[in-house]
Amino acid sequence: EPEVTQTPSHQVTQMGQEVILRCVPISNHLYFYWYRQILGQKVEFLVSFYNNEISEKSEIFDDQFSVERPDGSNFTLKIRSTKLEDSAMYFCASSRELSSPLHFGNGTRLTVT
Amino acid sequence: RKEVEQDPGPFNVPEGATVAFNCTYSNSASQSFFWYRQDCRKEPKLLMSVYSSGNEDGRFTAQLNRASQYISLLIRDSKLSDSATYLCVAPSNSGYALNFGKGTSLLVTP
């Protein structure tokens, strides 16, 4: 069964550094998402992406965040200047249609020190 | 009303018990809903989709009440392996995102 893959599985970075989290969505899916989950808290929506542009973003997705689909397969989340409170599990997801369920990757655990 | 609300639990039940989780959503125009299961420190995994009044898959039954904007998940004959957090998911008010509830924690004991 096709899977969403995310790399790296764990990223440690210093406060103020830039990080790029990478995702390869399922190949015939058209909608792409990033979510985050701070340890012990709920899964929070960050951004959705369709047809090479952002469809919706949450209040969390401020100017320090950006997403890109640089080629036909990768979908990246960039955090420009990381803060301690950015430490979380970041999940990428994709879906075939807007009303379809999301398929999640295994996540990238980001630790900001 | 928050977009998706769930009773956080925890629910502690013995093996073989029947347990039900409830969820309310705010977007009355929503057409599709989902229940996901999340194990500790893992990604959410799809358990069931709910597109009409309900759905049944083995021991799991999901029901949708559009008038009350309410979704439920029923688990019959609980197994130890059912221990997890169950996440209710509904479309955002714009429809371009899926929002997760805080999750309901289930612990099935021998």
Spatial separation of the C-alpha atoms in residues B69 and A34, rounded to whole Å: 26
Chain A contact for B102, CB < 8 A? yes
Note whether B97 contacts A103, CB cutoff 8 Å: no
Chain B contact for A43, CB < 8 A? yes
Mean pLDDT, residues B75-82: 98
Residue A103: list chain B partners with CB under 8 A.
46
Chain B contact for A60, CB < 8 A? no
Q: At B82, give phi and psi (nearest 5°).
A: -80, -10
By CB atoms closer than 10 A (0-12, 13-18, 19+), residue A9 is exposed
C-alpha pair distances (Å), A108 with each of A51, B38, B92: 24, 16, 24
Residue A90: pLDDT band with limits 50, 70, 90? very high
- Would you say residue A106 has pLDDT above 70? yes
Pick from A33, A101, A106: which is nearest to B46 by CB? A101
Residue B45: pLDDT band with limits 50, 70, 90? very high
Which range scores top for mean pLDDT: A7-21, B4-18, B22-36?
A7-21
- Say what the pLDDT of residue B1 is: 62
- Say what the pLDDT of residue B86 is: 97
Mean pLDDT, residues B64-74: 92
Q: Which of B42, B70, B74 is nearest to B60 (CA)?
A: B74
